[in-house]
Amino acid sequence: MSIVVFGVNHRTGPLALLERVTIADHAIAKTIHGLMSRPNIREAVVLSTCNRTEVYAVAEKFHGAYGDLREFFCELGGFSADELAPHLYSQHDEAAIAHLFEVAAGLDSAVLGESEILGQVRDAWDRSQREGGSLSTLNLLFRHALEVGKRARSETSIGRHTSSVSHAAVDMARDGLGSVEGLTVLVVGAGDMGEGVTVALSGAGVGRVLVANRTIGRAQELADRVGGSVTEFYRLAETLIDADVVVTCTGAGGTVIDVEMVESAMRTRGDRPLFIVDIAVPRDVERTVADIPGVTLLNLDDLRDWAARGQALRAAEAEAVRSIVVEEVERFTVESTARQAAPLVAQLHSAAESVRASEIERMKRRLSSLDPEQRDAVEALTKGIVAKLLHDMSVRLKDDAGTPRGERNAAAVRDLFDLR
């Protein structure tokens, strides 16, 4: 069996393509069950964020899983295989393990070292566990990945300065406007990303924070936390009149703010410009809003370009994190292979015991003259001989687990003793 990852991310495809393969939260459970029904997939975790959609799987055979997962992504985005091929990446075994560890550590994010991805990895794993998609192998892998992410942030400065997409969105607004102090900011969406944006804004000196969300209770809770106010979702069009900055991050899956809403607001605003940062995938704001005079519209493609400017500042820290990832991949591989050796050793001893017991049974008639004490002595003697014969072999299998020689020895034992 192999651990595999297939995906499309911000490095391999533009925002327009990522929008086509984004999986809404309410569809994750169905997606996991669909993946588990495919013939070559034993376990599956789906990670779908604003920067990536990835499937981590345990596959019976890599090539079989490759066909299953390529077909899955083609169906998901309505692509032909040739259309998707330049954007789809795949890794297996150690390379797949390293990729997940890099993702959890923030090395594969648009904002290098951002902290939100660690929670997103945890949530993806939790959902898969609830749906029966993450079993023994992926449970161990994702638990280890979270440890790697925490270690990277505690032992290096990879997350220092702008450490999340939501903080980056606020910094983009500050960068574009010179300052956000005293401005009225509208946050549309009160999920994890919306919470991060709102908290970041509260520390940036803005004059007023307005929170809009379909669930009014969640919006109120978030607004209370930062001393902001709630605006009802259906009043978005008129709230745009008052806002200087709008940050949108809903999971609506389609347009929330359209051209007509913004044009109407701009007619009332006079000469006041409007700065909009759309960090939702799929996008919340209709693309042609960018063409309206007085409106600046930025999205995740712009965030990617903006984040690249600060990438060099954290390059040295990234190298330190990569060293941690290499070390942790080796540790995980050795530990997981050692766990695989234990069942093989147990199977070997069980097979030997079966032979020993069978031979004792075959000699039962000849041993019938022995008294109970003598029969116990024969049992102990034969068991001792089997244990001594298998001792060195068992120790070698465990000690060499995770090494090329260990793999060769394990294969030889399975072959010689007909263990499956």
pLDDT tens, residue by residue, 243-266: 998 988 888 888 999 999 999 999
Mean pLDDT throughout 166-180? Answer: 78
Asked if pLDDT for residue 403 goes beyond 70, the answer is no
Q: Which long-range contacts (CB under 8 A, 24 or more apart) does 414-417 make?
A: 414/344, 417/348, 417/351
Q: Quick one: pLDDT at residue 207?
A: 87
Q: Quick one: pLDDT at residue 260?
A: 94
DSSP state of 210: E
Cis previous bond, 282, omega within 30: yes
Which positions are catalytic? 50
Tell me the pLDDT tens digit for each residue of 159-170. Answer: 765 556 777 777
pTM: 0.69
The Cα diameter of the chain in Å comes to: 111
Q: Quick one: pLDDT at residue 98?
A: 96
Burial profile 27-50: b = 16 or more Cβ within 10 angstroms, e = fewer: ebbebbebbbebebbbbbbbbbbb
Mean pLDDT throughout 152-175? Answer: 76
Mean pLDDT throughout 322-345? Answer: 85
Residue-range domains of the chain with CATH:
2-154 (3.30.460.30), 165-309 (3.40.50.720)
Tell me the pLDDT tens digit for each residue of 338-397. Answer: 777 778 888 888 888 888 888 888 888 888 888 888 888 888 888 889 889 988 888 888
Tell me the pLDDT tens digit for each residue of 8-49. Answer: 998 899 888 998 999 988 899 999 999 999 989 999 999 998
Tell me the pLDDT tens digit for each residue of 49-84. Answer: 888 999 999 997 888 888 999 999 999 999 999 999
SS (H, E, C) 270-281: CCCCEEEEECCC
Q: Quick one: pLDDT at residue 199?
A: 78
For 186, other C-beta atoms within 10 Å of its C-beta total: 24
Judged by DSSP in three states, 90 sits in strand
Nearest to 191 by CA among 169, 210, 172, 215: 215
The helix, strand and coil proportions of the chain, stated in percent and rounded to the nearest 5, come to: 60, 15, 25
Cβ proximity of 101 and 329 under 8 Å:
yes
Instruction: Tell me the CB-side half-sphere exposure of residue 261, using CA atoms within 13 A.
Output: 16
